[in-house]
A and B are shown apart, each in its own frame.
Chain A
């Protein structure tokens, strides 16, 4: 069975500062990894995903995540955050696209 750990429940950061949201997973099989974002009162939206190929994946709004198999991590980074990035971020793992297991989430608060 898979599991996902997001060690930071809340991350406050000033606008234009860099940020890293950590995600570690455990699984006995090969997995696919996802970051979802949830803005207030909205549903979950896919931010980026790793299925295969390059271990560095990017989103259209400047986020990136790197799959590190040896460290079983998939940390999310952004070099310069905006107020609009304030949201809850969930890391998820899926075994071959079957059930998706989510971490507890990290609340990113971008301060002016």
Chain B
């Protein structure tokens, strides 16, 4: 079975620019997560979707970050405008659904460098 796909793998932008990341979860997985992993730290949840609805976005900096999963399949995470402290790896993960005991499967991530 295909894994979680993310693109691009790497991105370098200047501060105040905007950037978007794309994620395609494992087929049939209803739950999708976006995590931010700053160098030397564990992943921090930004937002969690169940199908096309938001379950938890309490740690998403909503003044500059947005995410959508319009058709309940793939998802886009956007940062506008970017700050230096947004430099991190952005990980997308998916799991079967909100109510089933299972693990989250992770993509390889997008490494963002803001200069």
Q: Which residues of A contact B (CB under 8 A)?
A: 4, 6, 32, 34, 36, 42-46, 49, 51-52, 90, 94, 96-105
The reply to whether A97 and B95 contact each other, CB–CB distance below 8 Å, is yes
Question: Nearest B residue to A101 by beta-carbon distance?
Answer: B45
Q: Interface stretch among B12-20, B60-68, B77-85, B97-105?
A: B97-105
With a CB–CB cut-off of 8 A, which chain A residues contact B101? 32, 51-52, 96-97
Q: Which residues of B contact A (CB under 8 A)?
A: 4, 33, 35, 40-45, 48, 55-56, 91, 93, 95, 98-109
Closest CB-CB distance, B103 to chain A, in whole Å? Answer: 5
* Given A43-B91, A43-B109, A97-B98, also A105-B104 (CB < 8 A): no
- Listed by A's residue number, 30 A-B pairs whose Cβ atoms lie within 8 Å are A36-B106, A42-B108, A43-B4, A43-B108, A43-B109, A44-B43, A44-B93, A46-B104, A46-B105, A49-B103, A51-B101, A52-B101, A96-B101, A97-B95, A97-B99, A97-B101, A98-B55, A98-B98, A99-B33, A99-B45, A99-B48, A99-B55, A100-B33, A100-B104, A101-B45, A103-B42, A104-B41, A105-B40, A105-B41, A105-B42
Report the Cα distance A2→B107, complex, angstroms.
Answer: 24
With a CB–CB cut-off of 8 A, which chain B residues contact A6? 42
With a CB–CB cut-off of 8 A, which chain B residues contact A100? 33, 45, 93, 104
Question: Nearest A residue to B92 by beta-carbon distance?
Answer: A43
Question: Nearest A residue to B103 by beta-carbon distance?
Answer: A46
